[in-house]
């Protein structure tokens, strides 16, 4: 498989404070990659950089034959404002923006696609429910329904199984496996290492920098996990970014 994205000495951060620094590597088309590491390791920051929400402080992210509209991003559910008075149907319809446009009308065909997506994640009949009334598992199912409608070739998932029950996790893993069979590229931030070992062939272990990257069984060792914890604990959060020396 050809590489779909190259990371070249990539540093990402906020107001010149690095959250991920000097990361080099590549991800191939059709790969299923887990991004792991302790809290504060920069995992979510990396996904935001890949989707273009933040710009590199240095280095580069080079997508190969991938347009911005080919990338779908699932934020952490905590980042979704559940107090906003929007229905399940309205939020899921955002996945059709490429076809409908920013102010497009949801016609009968669009409603059929929305209904089918909701049915596929076990939320048939939830169209008129306000998103604030959903449980954690229902919220994640709804966000996956939006991903289905986006029909993207690259999917970036930030903690897709957080605060959901085992049944929902199993259902969503089934969707991810279906996307993998279609040769879509999936990059997911995950905390559950047992789940990573069982379902994700490739892992990137972060601790602000790359600790290990490759086959999951070679990455998630006790030695590498201890190293990642030590690196994060020792990191100076107030340090300013500087270029790598010669």
The residues spanned by each domain of the chain are 1-66+153-246, 80-151
- One-letter-per-residue 3-state SS of 163-185: CCCHHHHHHHHHHHHHHHHCCCE
pTM, two decimals, is: 0.89
Residue whose tokens read 């892992």: 203
Instruction: Quick: pLDDT tens for 51-106.
Output: 999 999 999 999 999 998 899 999 887 677 888 889 999 999 988 876 665 555 67
Instruction: Quick: pLDDT tens for 21-48.
Output: 999 999 999 999 999 999 989 999 999 9
174 phi-psi bin (left φ>0, alpha ψ -120 to 50, beta other)? alpha
What token pair was written down for 20? 């991920």
Query: Which CATH architecture fits 1-66+153-246?
Result: 3-Layer(aba) Sandwich (3.40)
């Amino acid at each position: 498989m050809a590489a779909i994205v190259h990371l070249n000495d990539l540093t990402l951060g906020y107001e010149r404070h690095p959250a991920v620094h000097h990361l080099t590597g590549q991800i191939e088309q059709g790969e299923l990659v887990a991004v792991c590491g302790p809290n504060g390791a920069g995992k979510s920051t990396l996904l935001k950089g890949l989707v273009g929400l933040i710009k590199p402080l240095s280095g580069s992210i080079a997508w190969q034959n991938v347009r911005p509209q080919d990338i779908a991003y699932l934020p952490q559910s905590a980042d979704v404002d559940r107090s906003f008075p929007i229905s399940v149907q309205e939020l899921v319809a955002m996945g059709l923006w490429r076809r409908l446009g920013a102010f497009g009308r949801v016609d009968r065909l669009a409603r059929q696609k929305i209904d089918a997506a909701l049915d596929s994640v076990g939320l048939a009949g939830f169209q008129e429910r306000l998103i604030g009334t959903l449980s954690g598992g229902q919220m994640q199912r709804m966000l996956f329904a939006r991903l289905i409608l986006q029909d993207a070739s690259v999917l970036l998932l930030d903690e897709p199984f957080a605060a959901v029950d085992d049944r929902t996790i199993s259902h969503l893993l089934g969707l991810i496996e279906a996307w993998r069979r279609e040769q879509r590229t999936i990059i997911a931030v995950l905390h559950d290492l047992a789940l990573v070992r069982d379902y994700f062939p490739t892992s990137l272990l972060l601790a602000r920098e790359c600790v290990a990257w490759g086959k999951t069984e070679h990455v998630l060792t006790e030695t590498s996990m201890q190293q990642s914890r030590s690196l994060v604990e020792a990191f100076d959060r107030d340090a300013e970014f500087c270029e790598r020396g010669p």
